[in-house]
Amino acid sequence: MLRLTKKADYGLMALKYLAEHPDSVSVSAKDIADTYGIPPQLLAKVLQRLTKVGLLRSHAGMNGGYELSRAARSISAFEVIHAIDGPLFITSCTKGSKSCELEPSCTIKEPLARVNESIAGVLKSISIHDMAEDESTSGRVTEQPLVMLTGS
């Protein structure tokens, strides 16, 4: 449930990498793919999309690659995920204008839309910078009890 796609994951990882290497003028997709052990071509596509929406600046040719187009602090996880996975959301319908078949009957959409908002809010409140920060902040968050399975 509520799984992020790998592409989004890859995208976040890549941005995090870039945020941690501000010295390098630009880093190639291959470089990042190698350090994380993920398929280069796939990552390339992800980075291309991020470039398209303006989160990255690309530079073709030798010693080319990507760099953040803004400060890591100003790029939210939401933006990244939205750029890669698209705007779709919680309920299985939610096609924006096009409403699903069970529209008249299903009244579940409304309350869930508010859940969406909350989630989007959380995602927006986390920046790439925050993520990059994490490992330098020692093992602070490592062993928290994640009280989220009480339901069953």
Partner DNA sequence: TGAACTGCGACAAAAATAGTCCTATACTGA
Partner DNA sequence: TCAGTATAGGACTATTTTTGTCGCAGTTCA
List interacting residues with its own copies (CB under 8 A): 1-6, 8-9, 12-13, 16, 35-38, 53, 76-79, 81-83, 85-92, 101-102, 105-108, 110-120, 122-124, 126, 130-131, 134-135, 141-142, 144, 146-152
Element holding 64 (H helix, E strand):
none
Of all residues in the chain, what percent are helix, strand and coil, respectively (each to 5)?
50, 10, 45
Among 22, 35, 53, 85, binds DNA (CB under 7 A): 85
Q: Which residues contact 69 (CB under 8 A, 6 or more apart)?
A: 54, 55, 56, 57
Q: How far is the CB of 123 from ligand FES (least distance, A)?
A: 17
Separation CA 73–CA 59 (nearest Å):
22
In terms of phi and psi (left: phi > 0; alpha: psi -120 to 50; beta: otherwise), the region of 145 is beta
Separation CA 139–CA 4 (nearest Å):
24
92 near DNA, rule: CB under 7 A: yes
Cβ closer to its own copies: 25 or 108?
108
Residue type, 110: E
103 binds, among ligand FES, DNA, its own copies, none (CB under 5 to 8 A by kind): ligand FES
Residue type, 88: L
60 near DNA, rule: CB under 7 A: yes
Q: Which range in 27-35, 97-105, 114-122, 133-141 contacts ligand FES by CB under 6 A? A: 97-105
Site size with ligand FES, rule: CB under 6 A: 10
Q: Residues interacting with DNA, by CB under 7 A? A: 1, 3, 5-7, 28-31, 38-39, 41-42, 44-45, 47-48, 51-52, 58-66, 85, 92
